[in-house]
Structures are given as structure tokens and as C-alpha cells.
Structure 1
Amino acid sequence: MRHIPFFRWVLAAGIALFAWSVGLFAMGSDPAFTASRQIDLAVVDEKADGTCRVQWEDPYAGKTREGPYHCDARRSDLLKAPQYTDSRGYGWETGFMFTEGPDRGDLYDVEAPSQGDLSTADTLLLWAVPLVLIGLIGGNIRAVPRVLGVQAKLVRRATRLAEAAGWAAEDYARAVTAVRDAGHDGALDAQSDPELVRSLWVLRETGPETRRTAEEARVLADRLRPLLEEAAPAAGLRNRLRAGPAARSAAEAAVTDLRHVLDDADRQGLQERFTQASTDLLRGQDTAWSSLAARADFERNPDAYRRLLVSLAPPEPVTWTALRRRRRQRRAEESAAQR
């Protein structure tokens, strides 16, 4: 089932309405300001909280009008009666008068409780705020089950175990391949290829336990690879949030299997064994000392080397084809020696 980002669209709608409201305010499209002009007011009476009664000139009615208003109580005392120099003893304030519509000539009182209907910008803002809150809170709540229960640390442990297993299996396979690629039929003598002897020495030094460890490593690596692929959404926060419900469900099941595999591996010490096997197999690679040690060990016990070679690279059956191939190889070697 494909994930539908419902709360993301709700958040986007809220942000769009908020931007629209801000744009209307910035362009001054509020009717209260586009259809009004600033005028002087004579403050007839004023309370400490700013409630006052004012007079103003109404050019549309052609007379002086008087009515309630909310003055700025924090303005300077020099603008209030009796300090203000007005022959009538009134104070001074400024305000806005409507110049259009049915309220033409009336004052626009910003703080009046019953000023009329909300402006377009105010209405958009009232819709935008709850939409933004719903989008943010709902989206985070919905993301909780996608974040909880996944264990990136466990996936990283399983990845390291899979890498150690893969390296152990590959290192052992490389050592065996080096023996088989030497092209011998099972006979070893004093003139044997030094590379073949050194490869056999490496396998003898690591012992039969390494072969069993390498086999376990190969089996475990083959088991871990598909589990790690399914558990990929649990490997990081970004992957968790991008994955759909089906992928998250598969990841949870894969994480459960990985946990069992890691528990078994910890009990058996597999990762340490894999690391040690790789270290032992690579210890004697491409060094003069390992070649000398291999030759000395071969001279002390050549039969053990022959048995190991036969077990790793059994001689091919003697057939006319094999005999002809050996004769051609011998002639080629003799020709090369004569040159």
C-alpha cells in the first residue's frame, strides 16, 4: 500500500494560506486601510484605560461629529487635556475615517469589540494557523510508529558480521584457488612451484578448523545478505521515513531475524573466529619469510603436503587426452629450457 502524505498536504495548505494572508497585509488590501484616511481627533473625555470620547470633522455629512473611541493611553501627557494647548480644553489623538461604503465618515476603531466582519487577511490567518498546527502535530504523531521499534545499531552490527563472514569465506577460497590454479596433478618434489608450496603451507598453518570456519562464514553471509536488504529501512532515519508501510513491515520482520542471528553469533563467537581466520590466511601472503618457512616445513614433512594437495586438487583421471596434454606441456617446457 502506497503511503499517502495527508498531513504533509495539510501543512502545505496552511503555509499557503498564511503566505496569502501576509501578502494581503503587505499590499495593504485590508478594506479598513484601503478605504480610509488619517484624521485629527479632539479628545473630549478620556479614562485611564484609554476609553475616550472624541470629536472629528465629517466632510461627507458637513458637520462635527462626536462618538466613543479607544485612545492610546500610552501617548505623551502633553497630548492629553489639560496639558494640550487646545482652546476648548480638549486633548489630541489621531485616527482613521472611512472614505467609502456605507460607513463613510465613521471612525475605524481598531480596538473596538464590535467593529464588524473580519477582513480577508484575518480570515485567511484564522484558517492558516490551525492547518499548520494540525499538519505539524499530526505528521509527527504519524511518524512515531515509523521511527519507534527500528534499531539502526542492530543493523550495523549485522552488517559488520556479514562483512567479516564474507572476508573469511573469500580469503579461504582465494587460498584454495591458488593451490588449484598451480596446475599440478598431485605430485610434489624438491622442484615444485614455490608458490604452490607456500599456498599449501598457509592452509596447513591455519589448520582444518579454518576450513570449517570458512564454510560457516559462507553459509552465514548468504543468509545475512537478503535479511540486510529487507532491513535497509531500519538502517537510518531518512530510510525509515521514506519507506512505505510494506517496506517497514518487512524491515521489522528482518530485524527480528537479524536479532536471532546475532544472538547465535555472539554465543558462538563467530565474528571473532571469522576475523581470526582472515588474519591467519593473509598472514603469509606474498612475503619472503613465508616462502622460506613453507619450503623448510615441506622438506620436513612432504607427505602431509601431498595429502593436502590431493584433498584440495585431486589428480584428474588418466586418459589419452590427459596424457597428450602432459606430453605437449613437457615438450613446451623442454623447448623453453633449450632456448
Structure 2
Amino acid sequence: MLTLGFVLFAGAVGLYAAGPDSPEVRQIDLTVLDEEPDGACRVRWSDPYQGLAREASYQCDPGRSDLLKAPSPGSGGYGWETGFMLTEGPERGNLEDLATGQGLGRADVFLLFGTLLIAVGLVGGNLRALPRILGVQSRLIRRATELSEAAKAAAEDYGRAVAEVEEAGRHEVLPNDADSSTGSGLVTALWVLREAGPQARETAALGRKLTGRFHGLLDDAAPATGLRSMLQAGPAARLDAARAVAELRLLLDDAERNGLRERFAQTSVDLLRGQDTDQAALSAASDFALDPIAYRHLLAQLTLPTIHPGTPLSA
């Protein structure tokens, strides 16, 4: 519709450009001999091309001042008006009758319909794009991305802590007494996991599961991240994006109810306590001296595949 409108508009411009030019005119004074209330009058003017005074019917402006209008017939005197005289062509010297309207030409019809089609096309196109604009959910996708990153970080931090225990276990065994535990890398690595608590393992498992679910959904929801991407996406991609956005909204609502964002962040903080090696080693030695059996039990647990991808979301 827009294309057809622009074609008609261009055609009107072409017809106007190729059409005959309007004759030149100049403004002159007219003597009003008599005048009707509706403005119909008879005027006299000087024709310089024929060298004589001419008279003709004319449509005067009925709204002009009464001082400029011709007096009543028989009362004597004249009125005054201005008009336009043709200055070229075979009709030069004649008055241009502004009251005589011409019918719509082809150029006028093209211009009228072209403008109408352009307006309808613009409005219709915007209305058609409205559902795509409403489908943009950049804030929701940003929240989902942040939650996915927090879940991934918690799972990776826990996996790193477990890997440190396994690495230390290849080179040493747990000490038999508290005195020999100072400086033990294995004791320090186990202490980090003890400080994080048993819930860190569950949070890490949940983080891995959520990361996997978010990965596919965020890929499908990518067109909904902005107006430009939504307008460029095809119907199938927009449908997938709408479905993915709906699932992401449910996951985010569930995460907020269970405080998952805070759980992931706290788990990551707890698992980073071992970065201060000296302080962590002293704290680990003191804790090992209080309960060495707990350390042996934790080490035994870590030898079992306790983290499963199928951990329920509500865990």
C-alpha cells in the first residue's frame, strides 16, 4: 500500500511538472460600478494592451469594508476592489476570475489517492508492528540472565572447591592429630566446604539444573531483547520467543519465592573464603582439632556422586 501510494504521489508530481505553466498575472485596481450583496459586481479597469477601459462581470469580496463597496444603484459613486490581470498569452488584458473553480485533474486525483494510501499504509504498518513492540521483554530477559549467571557461578564455585579437595587428596591424607593439621591443604579444602554447609551442595546442583534450562530458553527468547531484533524476527522466531518468555517468567517467579538469587550469591561467597590461604589454614586447623571425625565423614561423602542433574527445582 505504501509502494502504491508513493507511485501515485510521484505520478502527480510528474504531471504537475509536465503540465502547462500558469500564465503571469499582476494585481491591478478595479472600479466597482455596481455590486450585489453576494459580491457579484461589475467592474471597470484599464487595459494597457488594448489601450482602452474595459468592463466585465467579476466576483468581488463581499466581506470587505463597506467603504470600499459600490453605493446602491442610482445613488451615484463607485466602489473599489483589486484583481489580477493576465499579462501574457492570447487572454492578456483579461481579468483572472478567481471564483471560477476548475475540476480535479489527473494530477490532483493522483495526489489525493497517493496521500491517502501513504497515510493508511503508515498507520496500518504501525498497528501491525504493535504486537511485536509489546513482545519486547528486555527487563525480564535481563533478570533471567542475571539469575542464570548467579546459578552458574555457584555451581562452578562448588565444583572448584570439590576439585581442590580431590587434588589435595592425591598428595596427602588427613592428619591423625590436630597438631599435624596446620598447613594441610586437604584440611583447608575440606574446611571451605564445611563452612559453606551441606546446603551448598544442593544449591550447586540446583544451579547446574537452572543453568541448563535457562540456556535454551534465553536462546529462544533472544528476539524479545529489543525492538529492532523483534521487528527483524520472523513469525516462527517471535512465537518461540513468546513461549520462552512465558517459561522464563514462571522460573523467575519461582526463584523469587524461594530466594534462589540470594542462595546462589551466599553460596559463592561462602566458597570463596579459602582464598585467604593463611587465615583459612589457621581456621581449618582449629576446626579440625574440634571435630576431626566430621572431616573424615565429609571426605568420604565427596567420593560418592552426590550431585545429580535431576535435582528438583524446589530443592
- TM-score when normalising by structure 1: 0.69
Name the residue aligned to 1:281. 271
Contact 1:43 1:54 in 2 (8 A): yes
Question: What number of residue pairs does the alignment pair up?
Answer: 294
Cα deviation for residue 212 of structure 1 reads 1.5
Name the residue aligned to 2:291. 301
Note if 1:100 corresponds to 2:92.
no
Tell me, in whole angstroms, the C-alpha distance in 2 between the residues paired with 1:307 and 1:182.
16
| Cα separation, partners in 2 of 1:38 and 1:300, compared to 1, 3 Å | same
- State which drifts further: 48-57 or 168-177: 48-57
Cα deviation for residue 179 of structure 1 reads 2.9
| Cα separation, partners in 2 of 1:176 and 1:36, compared to 1, 3 Å | same
Q: Secondary structure at the match of 1:184?
A: helix
Equivalent residues in 2 for 1:101-140, closer than 5 Å: 106-110=94-98, 112=99, 114-118=101-105, 120=107, 122-123=108-109, 125-140=111-126
Note if 1:142 corresponds to 2:132.
no
Note if 1:179 corresponds to 2:165.
yes
Q: Secondary structure at the match of 2:83?
A: strand
| Cα separation, partners in 2 of 1:185 and 1:307, compared to 1, 3 Å | farther
Name the residue aligned to 2:43. 54
Name the residue aligned to 1:331. none
What residue ranges of structure 1 are gaps of 5+ in the alignment? Answer: 1-5, 315-339
Note if 1:226 corresponds to 2:216.
yes
Cα RMSD (Å): 4.0
Q: Percent identity, aligned pairs only?
A: 47
Note if 1:17 corresponds to 2:6.
no
Contact 2:168 2:186 in 1 (8 A): yes
**Aligned AA for 2:121?**
G
Contact 1:32 1:108 in 2 (8 A): no
Contact 1:98 1:108 in 2 (8 A): no
Contact 2:181 2:288 in 1 (8 A): no
Q: Secondary structure at the match of 2:28?
A: strand
Cα deviation for residue 211 of structure 1 reads 0.8
**Aligned AA for 1:217?**
G
Q: Secondary structure at the match of 1:42?
A: strand
Q: 1:165 aligns with which of 119, 138, 151?
A: 151
Q: 1:236 aligns with which of 226, 241, 266?
A: 226
Query: Can you list the C-alpha shifts for 1:212-233, whole angstroms capped at 9, x where unaligned?
Result: 2101111111111110121122
Name the residue aligned to 1:246. 236
| Cα separation, partners in 2 of 1:131 and 1:113, compared to 1, 3 Å | farther
Tell me, in whole angstroms, the C-alpha distance in 2 between the residues paired with 1:196 and 1:118.
96
Tell me, in whole angstroms, the C-alpha distance in 2 between the residues paired with 1:24 and 1:202.
85
Q: 2:195 aligns with which of 205, 222, 226?
A: 205
Q: Secondary structure at the match of 2:170?
A: coil
What residue ranges of structure 2 are gaps of 5+ in the alignment? Answer: 305-315
Tell me, in whole angstroms, the C-alpha distance in 1 between the residues paired with 2:200 and 2:81.
100
| Cα separation, partners in 2 of 1:188 and 1:24, compared to 1, 3 Å | farther
Tell me, in whole angstroms, the C-alpha distance in 1 between the residues paired with 2:279 and 2:160.
20
Query: Can you list the C-alpha shifts for 1:22-74, whole angstroms capped at 9, x where unaligned?
Result: x999x9x98564x2221414142456665544344556777624122344845
Tell me, in whole angstroms, the C-alpha distance in 2 between the residues paired with 1:145 and 1:247.
14
